[in-house]
Structure formats: C-alpha cells, structure tokens
C-alpha cells in the first residue's frame, strides 16, 4: 500500500514510519486548529499563540494515532500474528501485519484493541482537562487536553463503525466468521458494508462541496474512495488466499534456465536475456547452485565492461530474498515477492539443490485459470 516511508524510531520491536503523504494531513490539521478550533474556543489570543497550540494539538493527535495502532500491533503479536511496524499516512495510521489473523478470536481482539486504547486515552485526557480547570490552569493548556479528549472519542467511535476495513468492520467479520465458520463469506459481508459506507462518505462529501464546504467535502470524498478501495482489496486477498490454500511452490514451479558463473555479462545478455526474456537466472557450477543474476544487477554495470565481467563476480548468493523451498506456501511466497520486489525466485531444497523456478507470472496464470473455471467473480 505504501512506499518505504521515513523511519522515525523503533518501539518495543515495532518500526514506526511516516509515509510522505502524512505531511499533507499534518499541515492541514495544524492549519485547521490554528484558524478554526482554538480561535473558536479561545478568544483574544495572539495569532502566534494559536499556531503554537495548533502544533501541540497536532503532536497530540500524532501520538493518539500511534497509541491506537500500537495496541493493535501489540495484541496481534501476542496472538502470534507477525507485525513489522506502524506507518502513518494521509488517512491515519496502519499496523503492518505480515499475515491475517487465523481465527475469529484473534481477529476480534486485535480489532477491538485500537478503539479501547483510544477510549482509554480519551478518559486520561479528559481527567487532566478537568483537573486543569479545577486548579486554574491556563486556558490554552486546558483547551489542548479538551481537544485531545474529543479527538480520541471521535477516533474510537469512527473506527467502531461496522464497515471493513475499519476496526468495527473487522469486529463484524470476526463475529460472522465465528457464527458461520466461513471466513470468506464473513469477509464479503463486512466488505460490502465497507463499500456502502464509502459511498455514504462520498455522498456527504459531494453535499458539502455543493453547500460551500469545499475542503471538507473533498476529504469526505477521498476517505470514502479509500475505504471502498481498501474493502474491495481486502476481499480480493481473501479470495486469493482461498484459491491458493494448500498449494505449495512445488505445484507451480517450472524447469529453470540456468547460466554458468564463467559466462560474461555480454554473453548473458545476448544468449539468455534476449532469448528467454527472463529477469533472473540461477547460476550453476556443475550441479551446485551458486546464486542468481538479475537484469537489474547487469544494468547497474557500465555496458562497456560487460564483455570483461563474469556472471560469478556480481551474482547474488542464495538467500530468503531470492530463494524459496519447494514446500513453502504459495501465499507466503507471494508476500515475500511483494516485500522484496522480486518477480522470479529460485526453488532450492534443504540440501541446496535447485529444483525449479517460480515466477509471479506463473502464480497469476494459475489464479486466472482457476477463477475462470470456478466462475468466481470475487476478483472483478
């Protein structure tokens, strides 16, 4: 969904990143607080004071979203779901789970953790706000805590709407999954709610634009479109997983075209790349697999040096980035391809022997054929 993002810090093993798109919402939040929220609740302050309060309020919102996503991530890890980190982006934040929960119970507790965390923060900020009023704190300070209590309440309520992929939609999916023992059906129902909710937001956005609230209307439309897209993508992922369930790489791998390590880069390009049109070739030394060579590696070398440099000099050794085991699950390999950017991977057994090669094209070809045969319209 996102690019690499800007890494900020690692907390309890979770990598916290900010997608460049977050800068858009950060600027808009500061601006709206400085010219709208705080001037409305506090009159008579200097413009610079409103901007200072706005920055503090935006940082509090930043913390609140991180806190919400952190508890999703922490509960997920406790329940055995791998989580790489948390990324903040233009529409909020997301816990980067490497896989989906494997049971309704896990799904429920992971989903409910975020809203509960937001409600807890809301209570904490509200108590501090009340204490500040009782002790006569500066109105600017108390107004920040009032804003943070309000924003966490809104964050919890919004996320509890039963529209996938919001937390409420995930809770709905967990309940339906538990009732009918059918994850795919439960996902379809929850994502349909998500699509409908997205349409409602788009409609509200258009209404706001027609009544003069252009900026607010545009944001409603964008959020609605994002929720509809995320809902559809989530169902597609479940359909894909269902189609690939039980399939291992051994079922889809093909006989590889290999090259010797003593081949020059020029010969590799002329005799292999232009003939087979592959982006990656396993490198063999007799019967032993040494690694692999990719067109990206060759392209990084000055063309004038191709005749003099051998494949073995720049090849990459076998690793989790370019090699998989014949018994690896296809869905896991797809996830690895997505994270590493590799579209072709070597299939190597536990003794280091090359058994075949698997490509993204092969996997997608199998999926296309299966969808056509079964008449499943889930990917349309």
Give the start-end residues of each E strand in the chain: 6-11, 14-18, 83-89, 92-97, 259-260, 280-285, 288-294, 323-324, 344-348, 354-359
Residues 6+ apart with CB under 8 A from 16: 7, 8, 9, 10, 66, 85, 86, 88
Q: What is the DSSP string of 286-304?
A: TTEEEEEEEHHHHHTS-GG
CB atoms within 10 A of CB 340: 13
Q: What is the DSSP string of 29-43?
A: HHHHIIIIIHHHHS-
What percent of the residues of the chain are helix, what percent strand, and what percent coil, each to the nearest 5? 60, 15, 25
The one catalytic residue in 43, 69, 321, 350 is 69
Strand partners of residue 354:
348
CA distance 15 to 6: 10
CA distance 54 to 116: 26
CA angle 133/134/138 to nearest 5° reads 40
Tokens of 278: 């592959």
CA distance 227 to 230: 5
Q: If you count them, how many residues does the chain have?
A: 380
350 carries an active-site annotation: no
Give the residue among 93, 95, 61, 63 at the shortest CA–CA distance from 78.
95
Give the start-end residues of each E strand in 243-321: 259-260, 280-285, 288-294
CB atoms within 10 A of CB 214: 12
CA angle 242/246/250 to nearest 5° reads 125
Catalytically annotated residues: 69
């Amino acid at each position: 969904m996102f690019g690499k993002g800007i890494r900020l810090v690692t907390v309890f093993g979770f990598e916290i990143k900010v997608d460049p798109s977050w800068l858009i919402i950060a600027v808009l939040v500061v601006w709206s607080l400085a010219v709208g929220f705080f001037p409305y609740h506090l009159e008579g302050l200097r413009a610079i004071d409103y901007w200072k309060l706005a920055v503090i309020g935006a940082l509090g919102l930043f913390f609140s979203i991180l806190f919400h996503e952190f508890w999703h991530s922490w509960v997920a890890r406790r329940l055995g779901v791998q989580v790489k980190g948390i990324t903040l982006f233009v529409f909020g934040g997301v816990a980067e789970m490497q896989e989906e929960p494997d049971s309704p119970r896990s799904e429920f507790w992971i989903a409910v953790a975020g809203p509960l965390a937001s409600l807890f923060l809301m209570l904490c900020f509200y108590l501090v706000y009340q204490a500040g009023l009782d002790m006569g704190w500066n109105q600017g300070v108390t107004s920040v805590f009032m804003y943070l209590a309000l924003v966490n309440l809104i964050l919890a309520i919004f996320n509890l709407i039963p529209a996938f992929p919001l937390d409420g939609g995930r809770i709905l999916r967990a309940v339906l999954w538990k009732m009918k023992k059918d994850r795919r059906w439960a996902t379809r129902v929850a994502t349909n709610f998500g699509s409908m909710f997205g349409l409602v937001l788009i409609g509200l956005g258009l209404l706001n634009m027609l009544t003069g609230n252009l900026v607010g209307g545009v944001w409603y439309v964008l959020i609605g479109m994002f929720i509809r897209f995320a809902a559809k993508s989530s169902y597609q992922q479940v359909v894909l997983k269902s189609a690939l369930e039980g399939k291992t790489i051994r079922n889809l791998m093909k006989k590889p075209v290999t090259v010797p390590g003593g081949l020059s880069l020029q010969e590799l390009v002329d005799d292999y790349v232009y003939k087979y049109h592959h982006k990656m070739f396993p490198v063999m030394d007799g019967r032993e697999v040494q690694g692999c060579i990719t067109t990206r590696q060759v392209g990084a070398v000055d063309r004038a040096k191709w005749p003099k440099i051998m494949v073995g000099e720049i090849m990459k050794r076998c690793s989790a980035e370019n090699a998989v085991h014949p018994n690896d699950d296809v869905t896991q390999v797809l996830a690895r391809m997505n994270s590493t950017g590799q579209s072709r991977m070597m299939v190597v057994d536990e003794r280091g022997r090359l058994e075949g090669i698997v490509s993204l094209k092969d996997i997608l070809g199998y999926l296309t054929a299966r969808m056509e045969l079964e008449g499943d319209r889930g990917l349309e």
